[in-house]
Structure 1
Amino acid sequence: MSDTQAASPKPPQIKNESRVYFAALGKRVTRLRMSQGMTQAELARALGVSQQAVFAYEIGERRISILVAGRLARLFSLTMDQFLGFAPEPTKKGRLSPRAMRHAERLQALSKTQQRFVVRILDVLEKHNKSRGKAGSAPQARN
C-alpha cells in the first residue's frame, strides 16, 4: 500500500441508528408538509432547496442540515426540539392549512349564488359519505 492510498480519507459511514433517525425525521417532514396542504415543490421553494432534496429528506436518504432543520421548524411553527422529535408537538387549534385557506379565498371571490351552490354540493357529498358509512372520505373520481 502506498503513502497516497493511506492518506486518502474514507467516506464517512452512516451508522444504522442515524439512518433510522433520519428516516423517522423524513416521515415527520412528510406528515408536517401534508398537514399544511403543501406539495414537495412548495416546500422546496419555501426552504430554498430543490424538490429532489425535499424528496430525499422525506425518504431519509439525505441528512437534513441544521440550517434546513431550523427553516423547517420555523415554517411549521415548531421549536427545534419539537421538530427534531425531542419534545411533543403542540396540539392543533383548528387552524386551516395554507391550501384550505386558498380554497376559502377562492370561495369568497365567488358571487353569493355561486357560494351557496358550492356549499350545497359539499352538503350533498357529506350526506352521501355518511350514508355509505364513510364520513370524511372523498368519493372516488371516475374517468
Structure 2
Amino acid sequence: MHKAPTAAMPITTEERDFFIALGERIEQFRKTRGITQAQLAETLGLTQQTFQSYESGRRRIPVSAMPAVARALSVSLEELFGEQDSSARKRGPAPKWQKQIEAIAQLPKAKQQFVAQVIDSVLAQAQR
C-alpha cells in the first residue's frame, strides 16, 4: 500500500503570533549586531529569501535550526524566544571580550571589517 501524503498541519493564531514575534526579535538582534540578512542566511546555509520569510514570520523556522540561529546572533535560546536569560543574570558582569564584541557591533561597517582583519591576523599567528 502507498502512504497518502501527509497534509500540513494548520497553524494556530497563537503559533503564527509566536513566529512573527520570533522573526522580529531575530531582525532586532541581527540589526543590532550589524549583520545583513544575506550574511546571516549564508552563515546558516540558507538563501536570503528563505531567511527573509523566517524573519517576517511568513514561514516557520525549523526547531532544529534554532540553536544555530542563536549561536550566529550570539544570544541564548531563551533570549531568542523572548524569555529572560536567568543564567546570564546570575553570572555577574559580562566578560570583557563580550563587552568588546558588543562595542564593535556598534561601529561603522568599515571599522568592523578592520577589527575583524586584525583579529584574523592575530588568530592566524597564534595557530603557527
Q: TM-score, normalised by structure 1?
A: 0.59
Higher helix share: 2
Q: Which residue of 1 aligns with 2:120?
A: none
1:83 matched to 2:80? yes
Higher relative contact order (CA 8 A, sep 6+): 2
1:50 matched to 2:58? no
Q: SS at 1:49's partner residue?
A: coil
Q: Considering only aligned residues, what root-mean-square deviation do their CA atoms show, in Å?
A: 3.1
Provide the C-alpha distance between the structure 1 equivalents of 2:11 and 2:51, rounded to a whole number of angstroms.
20
Whether the 8 Å CA contact 2:34–2:109 is kept in 1: the answer is no
Q: Shift in Å at residue 88 of structure 1?
A: 4.4
1:31 matched to 2:28? yes
Provide the C-alpha distance between the structure 1 equivalents of 2:5 and 2:64, rounded to a whole number of angstroms.
29
How does 1:101-112 map onto structure 2 within 5 Å? 102-103=110-111, 105=114
Provide the C-alpha distance between the structure 2 equivalents of 1:99 and 1:80, rounded to a whole number of angstroms.
26
Provide the C-alpha distance between the structure 2 equivalents of 1:19 and 1:10, rounded to a whole number of angstroms.
18
Q: Shift in Å at residue 67 of structure 1?
A: 2.5
Whichever residue aligns with residue 60 of structure 1, its letter is G
Q: SS at 2:30's partner residue?
A: helix
Which has the greater radius of gyration? 1
Whether the 8 Å CA contact 1:47–1:71 is kept in 2: the answer is yes
Q: Shift in Å at residue 76 of structure 1?
A: 1.7
Whichever residue aligns with residue 11 of structure 1, its letter is A
Q: Shift in Å at residue 86 of structure 1?
A: 2.2
Number of paired residues?
Answer: 102
Extract structure 1 runs of 4+ deviating beyond 4 A: 88-92
Q: Which residue of 1 aligns with 2:18?
A: 21
Whether the 8 Å CA contact 2:41–2:47 is kept in 1: the answer is yes
Structure 2 gap segments, 5+ residues each:
89-93, 116-128
Q: SS at 2:61's partner residue?
A: coil
Residue from 95, 115, 125 that aligns with 2:103: 95
Q: Shift in Å at residue 98 of structure 1?
A: 8.1
Whichever residue aligns with residue 25 of structure 2, its letter is R
